[in-house]
Chain A
Amino acid sequence: MKRAVAVLALGLAVPAAANAADHTNLEEGLPLSLTDARPIGYLGREIQGVFRYEHTDRDEDAFLGETRLEFGFPRNAQLSISVPYLFGEIEPDGFQAVRGEFLYNLNQEDVLLPSFSLAAALDFPMGNDAHGFDPVLKAIVTKSIPFTEHFQQVHLNFEWLFNDDVRSGERARSWRAVAGYSVRLGPDTLGLFDVVREMTLERGRRENLVELGIRHQLTPRAVLSAGVGAGIGDESPDVRSTLGFQFAF
């Protein structure tokens, strides 16, 4: 319990005086796997916290706390660094690979053309079972639905991870594909839905997940998010629920 509180504090504690995240700008893990092609604004600074519970297909209770710092630099791009911490009945627990990521947005969408972003990341080994520096590539596509006043977007994400130090029972590469939809539910609230298909690093394992979530603008600088997901198929987590917080400072 003490560990859970500590990780919650790590994930969710923010400076009291800090401030303009944007609930319409999707971020991975906040609260779904889905993200959009839009970076945060130039010279933006944001702290993000994720707290996630998962009941795995192996009947384990797993908790994840993650803190992420994001910077809008240079223009049309963002840099981020995230530190995840895993605990509960799952092994290996403790700190997980620290990810440094650079995302670049290639274009603003128009009526026909979606917005495209490319991201490159590197997972740095951290924690007891750490090994290898794993490069990651991502392609993100976002398109708003035209000819309607109602703000709705569809998103496609594809991510490849290259396993730098392959161990027994691991694949050399993994990938994850996410297709999702976001819609304005109110002036301050966005609804999200996605479907995730992941080929994990563990050899022979594939996960499928359906997720639902909301993002709510709490203050001009803070966004709260919550989501739930259910696995489909034997190798997928039974259930996943996520709470997230973003603060622009």
Chain B
Amino acid sequence: MNRRTRYLAVALASAALAPACGTSPTFELRDDASFVRGPYNAAFFWRHEDPYRFQAAVHVAHALQHDRLQLTPLSEHSAVDARTDAEYLEAVARPPRIGPHMMTYGPHVGQAIWPLYRAIDWTHQHHDQTYDILMSRDVAWSEKERWTRRAVREYLARQPDAARSPAPLDVTMRRAGVMAKPYFTLFRNLYPRSNDFFYVAHWWHPVIYEAVMIAGNDEEQEEAIRATHALTDQVMRERPQRMLLAREAMPRYARLSPESANIFDNLHMLHGFAYDILAYEGWTLEEKRRELVRVIEAMSYQPGDEALARKFSLPYPGMDPRVYADWMRPAQGAMTQIMEEMLVEMWPAMSPDGAETPPAAVMEQARKKFAPGVQEGEHPGSLMEALAVVAPGMKHDPAAMAPGAGSSRMVEMMLAGWRKRHGSMSGVALIPMDEDPTPSATGQEMR
């Protein structure tokens, strides 16, 4: 075989293999960046070992879930879900010392959709930074805000396309325009145990920030974090039924750095979208990549996002992170409120009869889909498939449902709706950080 024939054979073999793998060569750069240096680095690791290791176990779960969904058939979702949840609980029982990168536990999806892992790992790096700043004895309480602001600035500047937006989730979720997609809610509906494991994680992360916010830099921090982390077993048994948002579960931190709090919510929502897309079997891996790249871009930083950062309200400003409150448990909360608002805003373009607002049956079906698992009376499939059953003749835009495509009209309708509802709000007031706080007795209302 001469050289030219060999090259031709390799090219043909690659071309033949590509469809079998559901993907084709991407020729992209790695574009990885190192962590941001500061006097606080690794403070969480050295100061609070057990909580740090719990977070490391959560990162194992986040990474593994990608490959688990992509490499197992949807028809086996119940068995896969039970097995996966058991593995996560095992990881929590015997946590790693250090949180792994996504590639270490989800290598297959990482090879196909590198921009996803780049965004996740880079944002996990940011979370490490912000925990470390709060927990470092070397950063005075009055200096926490300045260092956090620097960490946010470096996070956005060093990898702008990988960084999540500092705008509230209300805005980025509308930009992403995923609710009409054929994958939306699949993960939470069909893999409820694994999904709810992450809802525990999304309770845990903010309340740990908040434990520091009520306790300050001194030894009270150890006590507040110990008391908060000690709730984890109970919360794991009685898992929240929604993704808690920063504004709910870490209101004080959200006032220290609204930008960082929003980045936090935006990453957690990206996890959910990624799992929905990977669970969906109607697209090839390459199509899933196109869709995820679109979503990542829509939820990344865009000029002017800083001006929106404080535009959210605080439903529980005096919450105590050391208490697993009743309001943290049900499916109804800030997250579901955002999705319901979006559905109402989209409805005029979807309505079969030209109605301006969705009928009660649509809202009822949507609430069932927004909750984990399959509720009584819930129709199978994605949100849109279920709504189509209760609203026959509902209009779809097939182009907007395609992988990697979005409906700019629908997105603009939703953003206009958000501006009308929340655009003029003054936003949350920044929290004073001049005095190291002292926590009140557990369960008492605090500032």
Residues of A within 8 A of B (CB): 19-20, 22, 24, 38-45, 72, 75-76, 105, 107-113, 115, 144-152, 184, 186-188, 217-221, 248
Contact = CB atoms under 8 A, between A and B. Distances in A.
Nearest to A145: B107
Interface stretch (B15-23, B185-193, B394-402): B15-23
Closest A-B pairs by Cβ, 5 of them: A44-B34, A187-B96, A41-B34, A108-B30, A42-B33
A220 B100 CA distance: 10
Given A72-B34, A76-B29, A151 B56 contact: no
A76 B31 contact: yes
Given A76-B29, A151-B104, A111 B111 contact: yes
Contact of A220 (B32, B45, B67, B107): B45
Contacts of A220: 41-42, 45, 98, 128
Nearest to B125: A20
Given A20-B35, A43-B33, A144-B107, A107 B27 contact: yes
Contacts of B101: 22, 24
Contact of A188 (B31, B97, B158, B285): B97
B338 interface: no
A107 B26 CA distance: 9
Contacts, number: 137
Interface string B130-147: 000000000000000000
Given A41-B32, A41-B34, A76-B32, 20 more contacts: A22-B101, A24-B104, A38-B30, A40-B34, A42-B31, A42-B32, A42-B33, A72-B33, A108-B26, A146-B21, A146-B112, A149-B68, A149-B71, A187-B98, A187-B105, A188-B96, A188-B98, A188-B100, A220-B41, A220-B128
Interface of B: 14, 17-18, 21, 23-35, 41-42, 45, 56, 60, 64, 67-68, 71, 96-98, 100-101, 103-108, 110-112, 114, 128, 158, 285
A153 to B, nearest CB: 8
A148 B33 CA distance: 26
A219 B97 CA distance: 8
B201 to A, nearest CB: 16
Contact of A110 (B25, B33, B41, B105): B25
Given A76-B30, A217-B98, A248-B34, A144 B64 contact: no
B112 A110 contact: yes
A148 B112 contact: no
A147 B31 contact: no
A113 B30 contact: no
Contacts of B106: 149
Contact of A149 (B18, B96, B108): B108
Contacts of B34: 20, 40-45, 72, 248
Contacts of A144: 103, 107, 110-111
A107 B33 contact: no
Contacts of B14: 112
A187 B56 contact: yes
B23 A112 contact: yes
A67 B21 CA distance: 43
A115 B23 CA distance: 16
A242 B26 CA distance: 38
Contacts of A248: 34-35
Contacts of B28: 107-108, 110
Contacts of A145: 107
Contacts of B114: 108, 110
Contact of B45 (A109, A186, A219): A219
A218 B104 CA distance: 16
Contacts of A188: 96-98, 100
A230 to B, nearest CB: 29
Given A76-B31, A107-B29, A149-B68, A184 B104 contact: yes
B146 to A, nearest CB: 21
Given A42-B158, A105-B30, A111 B285 contact: yes
Given A146-B21, A219-B98, A187 B30 contact: no
A27 B29 CA distance: 20
Nearest to A109: B111
Contacts of B17: 112
B22 to A, nearest CB: 8
B112 A111 contact: yes
B12 to A, nearest CB: 13
B111 A19 contact: no
Contacts of B27: 107, 113
B104 A147 contact: no
Nearest to B13: A112
A217 B34 CA distance: 16
Given A20-B34, A43-B158, A220-B42, A151 B107 contact: yes
A184 B107 CA distance: 11
Contacts of A75: 29, 31, 33
A126 B71 CA distance: 53
A150 B107 contact: yes
